[in-house]
Amino acid sequence: GTNQDKWVPNPGCKSEKYLEMYRFVGKLMGVAIRTESAIELDLPSLVWKPMVGEVCAAADLAAVDEMFGKELETLKAVKNKEQWDAHEKHWQVRSMSGRMINLVENGGSVPVEYAERETYLHEALQVRLKECIPQANAILDGFSTVVPRLVLPVMTWRELENTICGTPVIDPEKLKKITVYENFSGGGTHPTAIMFWKVVEGMSNEDRGALLAFAWGRRRMPAENSGAQFKISLMTGMNDGHLPASHTCFFQIDLPRYTNESVMREKLLYAIHSCVSIDNDGRADGVLFTLNEANEDDAQVVQDALDETAEEGG
């Protein structure tokens, strides 16, 4: 779907142990607002909307499960019993984790009649929309321990997401406004600085996100009024044969004195898409947030492996 880069709460992680982890995620989100420090937590509208009291719809689900969305539209377009019977639908629906959920008792062996199609489609959609409710509620509970829940109804879900995570659209002009220059005579009017911004303006939003990740480990702009500054330093004695460097703790990149825009673009794109090891530090894919985990037992296997690795490392 359009949100294929989003983290979706794992509906199989519903024991108290995992719900407490989701509450901790909510607390981190609250801290991000309190400290005006954006965190890279790309969650879909399925999570953000319930937090501000907005109702999720089929489009929100289709954004993270395109196959289900297309199937829903196909079944809605059926015009007669013959077409419906060809789909061989039963009273069950495939969950986000791939498991089949019965909508009635022994649903897998009960065919859906043509006259029942609207009821079936409604029930299937509602089950899918509510899959992650326990995890989303736990996130909200944790968030509410740091930020009063009363502030949420006055925000849209997009405003809440941008406040916590920063805006996903990277405007070069806004980035330029929070930029400071080191070793550039004339600051932003220096030829290398001008060349740099021409390269950035010619980038796709995905490339700009990679540039930010290279500079400070996050793919989104800092929250407005956060005071964060993007620093560009001109490297002395470095030229076309060198790559740019970064200091993620300081939101800084060091640029060699490139001779032309083409060379700078080539070197910069290579650096920002090749030097991404910081994105993998401490990552635990497939435990709390996933699209494909089958159940909580599988998640426990992953968690146990991570615990054993930590113990071996001292």
Which residues are designated catalytic? 249
253 and 246 Cβ atoms separated by less than 8 Å: yes
Distance CA 206, CA 22 (A): 28
- N- to C-terminal Cα separation, the chain: 41
CB 197 within 8 A of CB 170: no
Q: Which two tokens stand for residue 182?
A: 């080191």
The Cα 298–Cα 294 span in angstroms is 7
The single-letter code of the amino acid at 262 is S
In the chain, where do the E strands start and end?
Answer: 92-94, 100-102, 179-182, 230-234, 245-247, 252-255
Closest CA to 49 of 99, 96, 3, 93: 3
